[in-house]
Amino acid sequence: MSAVRVVVADDQTVVRDGLVTLLKLLPGIDVVAAASDGEEAVRLVAEHNPDVLLVDLRMPKCDGVEATRRVRADHPGTEVVVLTTYSDDESVLSALRAGARGFLTKDADAESIGRALQAAAAGQSILDAEVQRRLIEGAATPKPADLAGSGLTPREIEVLRLIADGLSNTEIARRLVVSEATVKTHINHLFAKANLRDRAQAVAYAYRLGLA
């Protein structure tokens, strides 16, 4: 595989030069140009037709989101990886919607950046952990602690969680790779134990337990 050709864009000279230097040390990465604002970035992409554009979000003239949009529109062969100081809610989504493949924060190390560039060139997408967490939203880490007192068996808790996700019995059966009869049995048991009448009450119960 030949080296991934990259254009770097950042308005801060220190950051830009630092990035270029760092990336040049990485095997498989080839920095072909560096831009100091969005317009220049778009121009340089047109000129060099790189595999990836590594671009800062906050830039004068034309910001990262706008640059991303233009590049994706005019040069579908060039993937975009966004680099930013803050994993700020607003711009993140805008950039991703504009077609960015990857999203990194500036505390990423050289290897991480390199990996992201390689991945982008291959059509994969790498996200900063924090960004992915936000993207997935309901990252509410479950608390296996207090539901111990419910008297439910592990299997019953699993079933309850799936009920709370709005799945039907057949869907639950498929998910757990058991027969529907088994699912019904578990459900009847947990209804009896928790004094529930139907799955609607079960969903409410699950939410109160913090299962969803």
Partner DNA sequence: CCGGATCTCAACCCCAGGGTTGACCCCGCC
Partner DNA sequence: GGCGGGGTCAACCCTGGGGTTGAGATCCGG
Site for DNA in 123-182 (CB under 7 A): 153-156, 168-170, 176, 178-179, 181-182
- Does position 202 bind a second copy by CB under 8 A? yes
Q: Among 69, 81, 172, 187, which residue sits at the site for a second copy (rule: CB under 8 A)? A: 69
- Residue 158 and residue 145: Cα distance in Å, rounded? 14
Please give the structure tokens belonging to residue 27.
């095997």
Residue 28 interaction partner, one of DNA, a second copy, none, beta carbon < 5-8 Å per kind? none
Q: Among 86, 135, 151, 179, which residue sits at the site for a second copy (rule: CB under 8 A)? A: 135
CB of 127 to a second copy, least distance (A): 5
Please give the structure tokens belonging to residue 104.
């990194």
Number of residues that bind DNA (CB under 7 A): 23
Angle between helix axes 154-164 and 199-209 (nearest 10 degrees) is: 110
Cβ proximity to a second copy: between 137 and 146 the closer is: 137
- Does position 107 bind a second copy by CB under 8 A? no
CB of 39 to DNA, least distance (A): 10
- Residue 206 and residue 211: Cα distance in Å, rounded? 5
CB of 204 to DNA, least distance (A): 12
Q: Among 17, 21, 86, 111, which residue sits at the site for a second copy (rule: CB under 8 A)? A: 111
**SS3 readout for 195-206:** CCCCHHHHHHHH
**Strand order through the sheet with 29-35:** 29-35, 4-9, 52-56, 79-84, 102-105
Please give the structure tokens belonging to residue 92.
């993140």
Residue 128 interaction partner, one of a second copy, DNA, none, beta carbon < 5-8 Å per kind? a second copy
First-to-last C-alpha distance (Å) of the chain: 45
Residue 164 interaction partner, one of DNA, a second copy, none, beta carbon < 5-8 Å per kind? a second copy
Assign residue 75 a region (left: φ > 0; alpha: ψ between -120 and 50; beta: otherwise).
Answer: beta
- Does position 110 bind DNA by CB under 7 A? no
- Residue 3 and residue 98: Cα distance in Å, rounded? 26
Cβ proximity to DNA: between 197 and 208 the closer is: 197
Question: What count of other Cβ atoms lies within 10 Å of the Cβ of residue 39?
Answer: 17
Residues that bind DNA (CB under 7 A): 153-156, 168-170, 176, 178-179, 181-182, 184-188, 191, 197-200, 202
